[in-house]
Structure 1
Amino acid sequence: MIHDSAFVHESAYVDADVTIGAHSKIWHFVHVLSHTDIGENCVLGQNVMAGPHVSIGDGCKIQNNVALYKGVTLDRDVFCGPSCVFTNVLTPRAHIERKDEFGLTHVGRGATIGANATIVCGHDLGAYCMIAAGAVVTRDVPAYALMAGVPAKRIGWVSRAGDRLGDDLICPRTGERYIETDNTLSLSEE
C-alpha cells in the first residue's frame, strides 16, 4: 500500500507487498523489494535499495547509494549517510549460497550513520548514536555513543541533538543533562 500523499519517482521500482507511509519520498532509481515497510515522512535518495523484509521507521533519511538488506530494521528518525554499507553475511563467498545466514541489524531511534561507514551485520546500534564517516562497526554500539575508526571505537558521547558532549555531559545546544553509568549514557530525569 502506497499512501496517497507519498511521492514515488517514475524511475523507481516498488514491488508488491510494500507499505510506504504518508508524505514519504522515493527518488530516482530506487528499488523497494517486497515485504518492506517504509514509515511516514521518509526520504529514500537516488539509487537506494531496500528489502526484502526491511523495516524503515517514520522520519528516516536514507541518502544516495545505500542498500538495506533483509534483516535491517531502522527505528524512527535514523539518518543513513551517502554510500554507507550494511553487510548481510559475515563470511560471504560467491560460490556458496548463504542467504539463510543473514544477520539481523537493528538501528535505534535517532541514530546517524556517516557517509561510507560500514555496519557489519548482527550488531545493534543504540538510540541517538553517531557513526563517523568511513567507520567500520564490528560490535554493538551503546546509545549516544560517538564511534569512529576501523574498527570503530567509542571516542565520546553525543546528545539527542547530535552535539558532542563534554566532560560535564550537558548538551551545548539544548542544555539537556546526561548521566554516565557503567560505560552507558542516559538522559537525566532532572
Structure 2
Amino acid sequence: MAAFIHSLADVQTSRIGDGTRVWQFSVILPRAVVGRDCNVCAHTFIENDVVVGDRVTIKSGVYLWDGIRIEDDVFIGPNATFTNDPFPRSRQYPADFPRLVVCRGASIGAHATLLPGLRIGESAMVGAGAVVTADVPDRAVVVGNPARVIRYV
C-alpha cells in the first residue's frame, strides 16, 4: 500500500515507506528518510539529516532535527522535544550535529526533553515531562528532571 500524504502536508522527500501516513501541517525536508507503516501526526517537522525506521509513531508537536535517528517500533509522544546542538548560538552552526539515537521499541513520553548526542536504549521508556541528560539503558524506565532510572521493563 502506498504512503498517504495529506494534501495540507509539505513532504519534499520521495523516501517515504509504503503504508506510512503523513497528516496535515507536517513538513518533511528533501533528504529525510521515513520508513514503512509510520504515523506522522499533524504539526510535525522532520529535517534533512533524519532517519525514521519502520512502524514509528510521531505524535503532534514533535520536531526532529538534523542528526536524529529513530529506529523501528518507536513511539514519540506529543510535544516531545529533541535537541541537536549542545551550544546553540544564533546563526552559528556546528560542522556536524551530535547523533541522537532512539533505539528499537523505545517510547518517549509527552513533553519529554532529550539533549543532543544521547542514546535511548532498546525498549526503554522515557516518562512524560522527563529531561534526559544522559544515555538511557536498554529496557530502563526514566522519569524526572534530570531523568533517573526508576525500574526496568
1:84 alignment counterpart: 80
What runs of 5+ residues in structure 1 fail to find an aligned partner? 159-190
* 1:40-79 mapped onto 2 (5 Å cutoff): 40-79=36-75
Cα distance in 2 for partners of 1:89, 1:58 equals: 26
Asked if residue 131 in structure 1 is aligned to residue 118 in structure 2, the reply is: no
Asked if residue 102 in structure 1 is aligned to residue 93 in structure 2, the reply is: no
Alignment coverage as a number of residue pairs:
153
1:8 alignment counterpart: 5
2:16 to 15, 20, 24: 20
Aligned CA RMSD, in angstroms, stands at 1.1
Identity among equivalent positions (%) equals: 37
2:35 to 35, 39, 46: 39
Give the alignment's TM-score, normalised by structure 2.
0.96
Cα distance in 2 for partners of 1:87, 1:26 equals: 22
Give the alignment's TM-score, normalised by structure 1.
0.78
Paired letter, 2:11: V
What whole-Å deviation, never above 9, does each CA across 1:10-46 have from its counterpart, x for those lacking one? 1111114x40011100001000012111111000001
**Greater RCO structure (CA 8 Å; 6+ sep):** 2
1:188 alignment counterpart: none
1:184 alignment counterpart: none
What runs of 5+ residues in structure 2 fail to find an aligned partner? none
Greater Rg, structure 1 or structure 2?
1
